[in-house]
Amino acid sequence: MKALNVEEIKKSLKGIVEVNDKEVKILNEEALRKGIIDDLIYTAVFGDEEAKRFSRWLIRAIALDFGAIPASIHDLYIDGMGKEKLDRWFTVPAMNIRGMSYDVMRRIFKIAVEKDMTAFILEIAKSEIGYTYQRPEEYASCALAAAVKEGYKGPVFIQGDHFQFKAKNYFEDPEKELKAIQDLTREAIEAGFYNIDIDPSTLVDYSKPTLTEQQYHNYLNTAKMTAFIREIEPERITVSVGGEIGHIGGKNSTPEEFEAFMEGYLKTLKEYGDNLSYISKISVQTGTEHGGIPLPDGSVAKVKLDFSVLESIGKVARKKYSMSGAVQHGASTLPDELFHKFPEVKASEIHLATGFQNIIYDHLPEEMKKEIYVYLKENFSNEWKEDWTEEQFIYKLRKKGFGPFKKRFWDLPSDIKENILDALEAKFRFLFDQLKVYDTKKYTDEYIKPVKVLPEKPE
């Protein structure tokens, strides 16, 4: 793959892709998928600014003509899962891809095409956008280019994960922090993220005497963000919005907390207009922590995950509010023998991240790993907690190597890259099978009607 300038892009498209001001038409699909799409995504990530803008717009336009369309999962969650109309249950995997994004996503779409799988989400969290150096438009471009490369046609669910309020910033200046989340949300929706997880759960105050008071700033800001999203979402698209009641890593959530949150949320949302579509799912705390808890030797502590939390809150979500159910965060480092349980308790979605990162690092050349670890110690020593060993520090901080070493990850020698991707593919296949998301195309065909939205062509 190589980065092109705008003139090189135009020359490479001749006879393969026709570009007009308002649309793009694929003339030779085989030639497009064989090589040009690779150069376009490489340019979208590593080209000069003008070439980046043009190639990102072009990838989205090509994907729309091809039939890989950014979509919201809202209707499947509300009308299918929420009203319990599905003839079988599956738990939708939402995967945070921190490095080698295009190549990793290609393996996911490869499986999707082979297995008629469309109920899966590619997501990136607010924090990950920062430390992996992947703004929403770049991340969406990777997803759409990967779909085209692998011949995937259907809805592409791209999600903004943990668009989280910082408690310190919020209580110093609530409007400023709200605006920061709104600005990121607008950027993400414009890039084709039609699934947004709002997370003011960091504002929950357990010192308050009642559940409603504890959840006040959480439901208030979830309602404000929902109303904001309904105001800016594209015509004929209802963005899927997720809420969260228990900050991951805190105490386990309860149905009573959920109902207190929902009643306050729905009452507040009504102030912004009648019949606004509300959240489609709720993230809860079940005993896990993001990335797992590293022990002094660098291994990960076993977690006692309470599946009854997912089951009980999910039941209330469906019966009382016609929502899809409860969402499990921080799950990718759990033991393999637990994953079949998520569909059994009707969890609607599960977020997976660090386990994939660990596979990448496990297969990296030792020399490159050492280089990254030295960089982390030189640049993030202020995040080294007093009681951490070096192994704990590396485990917790190595996610921050993806941004500074992004090009190195992309340009790994093909044999090393293939080893990493083969290991990831094996993990994906296992997870998708356990979560029962193979053969889900019939469900998205029934409930999801993707709408083609193409931003204005850059000058």
**Are residues 17 and 94 both part of a single domain?**
no
Distance CA 264, CA 279 (A): 13
In the chain, the amino acid numbered 435 is L
In eight-state DSSP terms, residue 388 is -
Query: To which H or E segment does residue 197 belong?
Result: strand 195-199
**Are residues 62 and 76 both part of a single domain?**
no
**Are residues 176 and 41 both part of a single domain?**
no
Report CA Rg, the chain. 21
**Are residues 160 and 190 both part of a single domain?**
yes
* pLDDT score recorded for residue 244: 95
456 domain-assigned:
no
**Are residues 51 and 95 both part of a single domain?**
no
Q: Where are the beta strands (DSSP E) in 246-295?
A: 281-284
* pLDDT score recorded for residue 330: 77
**Are residues 189 and 276 both part of a single domain?**
yes
Q: Residue holding tokens 């990493």?
A: 420
Distance, first Cα to last Cα, the chain: 25
* pLDDT score recorded for residue 303: 63
DSSP 391-429: HHHHHHHGGGGTTTTHHHHHT--HHHHHHHHHHHHHHHH
**Are residues 177 and 311 both part of a single domain?**
yes
**Residue pLDDT, tens place only, 214-261:** 999 999 999 999 999 999 999 999 999 999 997 655 688 999 999 999
**Residue pLDDT, tens place only, 7-62:** 999 999 999 999 987 789 999 999 999 989 999 999 999 999 999 999 999 999 99
**Are residues 142 and 30 both part of a single domain?**
no
For residue 457, pLDDT over 80 is answered with yes
**Are residues 39 and 137 both part of a single domain?**
no
| Whole-prediction pTM | 0.95
* pLDDT score recorded for residue 333: 75
pLDDT classification of 98: cutoffs 50, 70, 90 = very high
* pLDDT score recorded for residue 135: 98
Percent of the chain residues past pLDDT 90, beyond the cut? 89
Distance CA 241, CA 196 (A): 5
148 domain-assigned:
yes
**Mean pLDDT, range 277-287, rounded to an integer:** 93
428 domain-assigned:
yes
* pLDDT score recorded for residue 247: 65
DSSP 130-182: HHTT--HHHHHHHHHHHHHHTT--EEEEEEEEEEEPPHHHHHH-HHHHHHHHH
**Mean pLDDT, range 413-434, rounded to an integer:** 97
90 domain-assigned:
yes
Contact between 298 and 391 under an 8 Å Cβ cutoff? The reply is yes
Query: What's the domain range around 46?
Result: 6-66
Q: Where are the beta strands (DSSP E) in 67-110?
A: 68-71, 92-96
**Among 66, 84, 113, residue at a domain's last position:** 66
| Contacts with 189 (C-beta within 8 Å, 6 or more apart), sequence order | 196, 229, 232, 233, 234, 239
What CATH code is carried by the domain that includes residue 275?
A: 3.20.20.70
**Are residues 43 and 133 both part of a single domain?**
no
Cα–Cα distance list, 320 to 120, 199, 262 (Å): 26, 22, 10
92 domain-assigned:
yes
**Are residues 31 and 175 both part of a single domain?**
no
**Among 21, 38, 66, residue at a domain's last position:** 66
* pLDDT score recorded for residue 87: 96
Q: 19 has which bridge partners?
A: 24
Give SS3 for 26.
Answer: strand
**Residue pLDDT, tens place only, 342-384:** 999 999 999 999 899 999 999 999 999 999 999 999 999 999 9
In the chain, the amino acid numbered 457 is K
395 domain-assigned:
no
In the chain, the amino acid numbered 117 is M
Query: To which H or E segment does residue 326 belong?
Result: strand 326-328
| Contacts with 133 (C-beta within 8 Å, 6 or more apart), sequence order | 402, 403, 404, 406
**Mean pLDDT, range 443-450, rounded to an integer:** 98
Contact between 333 and 353 under an 8 Å Cβ cutoff? The reply is no
* pLDDT score recorded for residue 1: 83
384 domain-assigned:
no
**Residue pLDDT, tens place only, 285-306:** 887 655 556 556 666 656 668 8
* pLDDT score recorded for residue 459: 82
pLDDT classification of 283: cutoffs 50, 70, 90 = very high
**Are residues 296 and 156 both part of a single domain?**
yes
- What domain count does the chain have? 2
401 domain-assigned:
no
**Among 66, 91, 114, residue at a domain's last position:** 66
